[in-house]
Amino acid sequence: MKFREWLKDLKYEVLQGSLDVEAEDVIYDSRKARKGVVFVCMKGTRTDSHEFIPEVVNAGVEILVVEQRIKVPDGVTAILVDHAREALALLSAARFDYPAEKMVTIGVTGTKGKTTTTHMIKTILEACGKKVGMIGTTGIVIGQDVTPTMNTTPESYELHLAFIRMVEAGCEYMVMEVSSQAFKMHRVDGICFDYGLFTNISPDHIGPDEHQDFEEYLFYKSRIFCCSKVGIMNGDDEHWEEVVKDASCKLYSFSMDKDGTDFKAEDIRYIAQPDFVGLEFDIKGTCELSVRVNIPGRFNVANALAAVSVLSFLDLPKESICHGLEYLNVNGRMEIVYASEKCTVIVDYAHNAVSMESLLSTLRDYHPKRLVCVFGCGGNRSKDRRITMGDSAGRLADFTIITADNSRYEKTEDIIADIRGSLEKTGGKYIEIPDRREAIRYSIIHAEPGDMIAIIGKGHEDYQEINGVRHHFSDREEVLKVVDAQLSKDV
């Protein structure tokens, strides 16, 4: 195609050359430079790719997108833009012929619940016979094909490449997690979601490499309602008025506590049986439905309600919605790995105090004989996380097993010592088993009838990172190994 044909949505100034030059692809990595590609120069925190212009031109690049007025070699077309990341997003969409517009798109943002809610939406749509593509923490999912990603929301070029793969695979729907960083870094610029969903917001991702303060974090989270046709908001969130104040789309709301919202959860029942641990509740309002969700926890009422709120606009069979929720499985998110008369074992990704408190508090609603928590904390991360998680475990669990979790370049025993210091102050009972495999085994071997065991921190992860090296390790796999060994022994 002619480069000019990719520029219809972009504001730019031609610094040099012709816009009628042939263009085959868009790149932002100088190592992929070749003839026929457009090189987008971006300023990062560590490098400025404007410095690689001589290198990419020598490799054959004849089209540049730049953020500053600089001299470029003769014979090269160069356009000036205000934001190169925005340009990358818009050029990527054009390069693949706007694939997002060829599917029903659902964007989900929020501090917690994004992964579970997107999985719920995907599972329900598939229960209705629809083909769905999904992007988020677990990677890019197209059918049985899963491609890992570095970020919850990939760079814009990778997004549109994923979208075209979905279209070519016959996907009718695309559901994705949209992080605050995705908005800040222009990864989703040019995408107008058919439905934008906001789960909740609480202080997180605030620091030098993320957001400078909570106000900035909230601002970028709220952008979902500026790039959606229909917005669905959690009416129970204390910041909901700030989140929706700049919304440019039609808005609906859901709630567990407030009357007057469009979707309301009522008569919530907590079910704990050997073959089912989860929830039942009724939905009133715009959608009338009684549902059964096989993931425990009050916050999963909110996640399921959010999912049903979105899907109610798609004219789906109610029985298929109910079936999808009842047989749902989200890897590493309140995942019931094992349940029997003896104990229930849950694997979850909770890796900060807010998530941990929410998880342990909600498991209390099932009245276990003992609530046992197995956890550690990642190395080379804020020590405050260890202190607050240790405090939460001591107060909310009946018994805690402190162990390893991605120690990275720190010593596991040093991390455990930090956790121990805060846990001991609560008077909570605990032991230390640094080997995570042995800690999991101990929790199950020594379980008492009626126990709930929460193994938290890693969730879906399938590795342990030690001294910069990732070794295969899955909490789920380790639980099943112990269970299988115990069952064989009993037989």
The CATH superfamily assigned to 99-326 is Mur-like, catalytic domain (3.40.1190.10)
- Among candidates 128, 132, 119, 124, which has minimal Cα distance to 167? 132
End-to-end Cα spacing for the chain? 68
The answer to whether residues 444 and 453 touch, using CB atoms and an 8 Å cutoff, is yes
- Among candidates 445, 433, 454, which has minimal Cα distance to 482? 445
Task: Read off the pLDDT of residues 452-467 as tens digits, 9 standing for 90 and up.
Answer: 999 999 998 989 999 9
For residue 232, give Cα distances in angstroms to 53, 61, 101, 108, 168: 44, 44, 20, 10, 29
Is 417 or 207 the better-scoring residue by pLDDT? 417
**Angle value at C-alpha 316, between 310 and 318, nearest 5 degrees:** 95
β-bridge pairing 228-234 and 250-255: parallel
**Average pLDDT across the chain, whole number:** 93
The answer to whether residues 306 and 117 touch, using CB atoms and an 8 Å cutoff, is yes
In sequence order, what are the beta bridge partners of 79? 14, 65
The answer to whether residues 356 and 456 touch, using CB atoms and an 8 Å cutoff, is yes
CATH class in words for 335-490: alpha beta
In the chain, pLDDT over 70 holds for what percent of residues?
A: 98
Determine the residue type at 286: T
What the block records as the tokens of 321 is: 């919605």
Is 317 or 332 the better-scoring residue by pLDDT? 317
Maximum CA pair distance of the chain?
80
Work out the average pLDDT over 166-171. Answer: 97
For residue 85, give Cα distances in angstroms to 14, 183, 467: 18, 11, 33
Grade residue 208 by pLDDT with cuts at 50, 70 and 90: low
Q: What pLDDT sits at residue 144?
A: 85
The per-residue b/e assignment along 453-473, b for 16 or more CB within 10 angstroms, e otherwise, is: bbbbbbbbbbebbbeeeeeeb
Work out the average pLDDT over 85-102. Answer: 97
Task: Read off the pLDDT of residues 419-442 as tens digits, 9 standing for 90 and up.
Answer: 999 999 999 999 999 999 999 999
Q: What pLDDT sits at residue 204?
A: 65
* Consecutive H or E run containing 250: strand 250-255
Q: What pLDDT sits at residue 1?
A: 87
The Cα–Cα gap between 236 and 46 comes to 40
Report the range of poorest mean pLDDT among 78-92, 312-326, 431-445.
312-326
Q: Which residue has the tokens 């001991």?
A: 424
Q: What pLDDT sits at residue 333?
A: 81
Grade residue 490 by pLDDT with cuts at 50, 70 and 90: low
Is 101 or 366 the better-scoring residue by pLDDT? 101
Q: How many residues does the chain have?
A: 491
Grade residue 491 by pLDDT with cuts at 50, 70 and 90: very low
Whether CATH 1.10.10.60 fits 3-95: no
DSSP 326-388: HT---TTSSEEEEE-SSEEEEEE---SHHHHHHHHHHHHTT--S-EEEEE---SSS-HHHHHH
The Cα–Cα gap between 156 and 182 comes to 9
- Among candidates 252, 249, 246, which has minimal Cα distance to 233? 252
Q: Do domains 3-95 and 335-490 have the same CATH topology?
A: no
Work out the average pLDDT over 9-23. Answer: 96
Q: What pLDDT sits at residue 205?
A: 57
**Sequence spans of domains, the chain:** 3-95, 99-326, 335-490
Report the range of poorest mean pLDDT among 181-195, 223-237, 273-287.
273-287
Is 395 or 137 the better-scoring residue by pLDDT? 395
Task: Read off the pLDDT of residues 239-266 as tens digits, 9 standing for 90 and up.
Answer: 999 999 999 999 999 999 999 999 999 9
What the block records as the tokens of 169 is: 């695979």
Q: Which residue has the tokens 């798109």?
A: 105
The Cα–Cα gap between 19 and 290 comes to 58
Work out the average pLDDT over 77-90. Answer: 97
Q: What pLDDT sits at residue 355?
A: 86
Residue 453 contacts by C-beta under 8 Å, 6 or more apart in sequence?
A: 343, 344, 345, 346, 372, 373, 374, 443, 444, 447
Task: Read off the pLDDT of residues 331-348 as tens digits, 9 standing for 90 and up.
Answer: 888 898 998 888 999 999
The Cα–Cα gap between 298 and 288 comes to 20
Report the range of poorest mean pLDDT among 66-70, 171-175, 378-382, 425-429.
378-382
